[in-house]
Structure 1
Amino acid sequence: MPCLTSLTLLFTLAAGCIAQSINELLSGVPELSNFTSLALTDPGFIATLSGASNITILAPNNQALKAVPAYITDHADHVRALLDYHVLNGTYRSGDFGDEPKFWPTLLTHPHFVNLTVGEKQVVKAARMGDHGTVYSGLDRPAMVSRADMNFNGGLVHIIDSALVLPANVSTTAISSNLTAVAGALVTSNLAHTVNALSGITIFAPSNGAFQAIGNLVGRLSPEELASILNYHVVPVRAFTVDLTNNQKLETAQGGEITVRTSNGDVYVNGAKVITTNIITNNGVIHIIDGVLNPNATDDEPDTGASTQAPAFPSATGSSDVPFTSGVPTPTASGIATSSPTSGTGGQPNAAASITGSAVIAVIGAVLALAASMVV
Structure 2
Amino acid sequence: MRASLCRLAANVALLGLASAQTTEPQDGLEVALLNYPDLSLFRSLLGQAPESLENVLSDDTNNITVLVPTNEAINAYLTASGLSNITELKSDDIETFFSYQILAVSLKGADFDDPNGMTVPTLLQGDKFNNRSAGPMLEQQYGERATGQVVFATHKDKSARRVKRQDAGPVVNIRAGLAQDVGMTAVDVKWGTKGINTFQVVDSVLVPPKNCSTTIRSFSDDRLTSMDDALKKSGLWPRIDTSSNVTCLAPSTEAFKNAGDPQVSGSKSEVGGVVLHHTLGQVAYSNFLEDGMVFESLNNTKITVTFKGDDIYFNNAKLIEANVLTNNGLLHILDSVIETDNSVSGKSSGTSSTSAEVPSGTSTEAPSSTSSSASSASETNAANALAISYSGVVAVAAGFLLL
Using structure 1 for the length normalisation, give the TM-score.
Answer: 0.71
Could you say what secondary structure the match of 2:338 adopts?
Answer: coil
Could you say what secondary structure the match of 2:133 adopts?
Answer: coil
Alignment of structure 1 residues 84-233 onto 2, 5 Å: 84-98=99-113, 99-117=115-133, 120-131=147-158, 132-153=171-192, 154-177=196-219, 178-215=223-260, 217-233=262-278
Structure 1 distance, partners of 2:402, 2:105, is 51
CA contact 2:116–2:154 (8 Å) conserved in 1: yes
CA contact 2:339–2:402 (8 Å) conserved in 1: no
**Which AA in structure 2 matches 1:163?**
V
- Deviation (angstroms), 1:314: 7.5
CA contact 1:39–1:83 (8 Å) conserved in 2: no
CA contact 1:292–1:312 (8 Å) conserved in 2: no
Match of 2:280 in 1: 235
Could you say what secondary structure the match of 2:92 adopts?
Answer: helix
Higher mean C-alpha displacement, 108-117 vs 15-24: 15-24
- Deviation (angstroms), 1:312: 8.3
Could you say what secondary structure the match of 1:247 adopts?
Answer: coil
Could you say what secondary structure the match of 1:164 adopts?
Answer: coil
Could you say what secondary structure the match of 2:76 adopts?
Answer: coil
Cα-to-partner distance string for 1:324-368 (whole Å, 9 max, x where unaligned): xxxxxxxxxxxxxxxxxxxxxxxxxxxxxxxxxxxxxxxxxxxxx
- Deviation (angstroms), 1:127: 1.4
Change (3 A) 1:221 1:148: same
Match of 2:329 in 1: 284
CA contact 1:134–1:143 (8 Å) conserved in 2: yes
- Deviation (angstroms), 1:217: 4.1
CA contact 2:259–2:401 (8 Å) conserved in 1: no
Could you say what secondary structure the match of 2:95 adopts?
Answer: helix
Could you say what secondary structure the match of 1:144 adopts?
Answer: strand
Cα-to-partner distance string for 1:297-324 (whole Å, 9 max, x where unaligned): 54599xxxxxxxxx985873xxxxxxxx
Q: Show structure 2 runs of 5+ residues with no match.
A: 1-20, 136-146, 159-170, 346-397
Indicate whether 1:34 and 2:28 are aligned: no
Indicate whether 1:46 and 2:53 are aligned: yes
**Which AA in structure 2 matches 1:160?**
V
- Deviation (angstroms), 1:151: 0.9
Coordinate RMSD, CA, aligned:
2.7
Change (3 A) 1:189 1:92: same
Structure 1 distance, partners of 2:116, 2:257, is 31
Change (3 A) 1:32 1:235: same
Match of 1:78 in 2: 93
CA contact 1:135–1:144 (8 Å) conserved in 2: yes
Indicate whether 1:247 and 2:292 are aligned: yes
Could you say what secondary structure the match of 1:138 adopts?
Answer: coil
Could you say what secondary structure the match of 1:140 adopts?
Answer: coil
- Deviation (angstroms), 1:191: 0.5
- Deviation (angstroms), 1:110: 3.1
Change (3 A) 1:62 1:91: same
Change (3 A) 1:242 1:312: farther
- Deviation (angstroms), 1:253: 1.4
Could you say what secondary structure the match of 2:130 adopts?
Answer: coil
Alignment of structure 1 residues 295-334 onto 2, 5 Å: 295=340, 297-298=341-342, 313=400, 316=403
Cα-to-partner distance string for 1:72-111 (whole Å, 9 max, x where unaligned): 8533212211211000011110111223311111000132
Structure 2 distance, partners of 1:34, 1:91, is 22
Change (3 A) 1:39 1:192: farther
CA contact 1:270–1:299 (8 Å) conserved in 2: no
Structure 1 distance, partners of 2:97, 2:331, is 22
CA contact 1:229–1:294 (8 Å) conserved in 2: no
Change (3 A) 1:216 1:187: closer
Give % identity: 29
Cα-to-partner distance string for 1:8-46 (whole Å, 9 max, x where unaligned): xxxxxx999314211211344221111122333433333
Using structure 2 for the length normalisation, give the TM-score.
Answer: 0.67
Change (3 A) 1:220 1:299: farther
CA contact 1:204–1:234 (8 Å) conserved in 2: yes
Structure 1 distance, partners of 2:312, 2:32, is 43
CA contact 2:30–2:46 (8 Å) conserved in 1: no
Could you say what secondary structure the match of 1:59 adopts?
Answer: strand
Structure with greater proportional helix content: 2
Cα-to-partner distance string for 1:219-273 (whole Å, 9 max, x where unaligned): 3311111111101111111111122122211111122221111121211111111
Structure 2 distance, partners of 1:238, 1:79, is 28
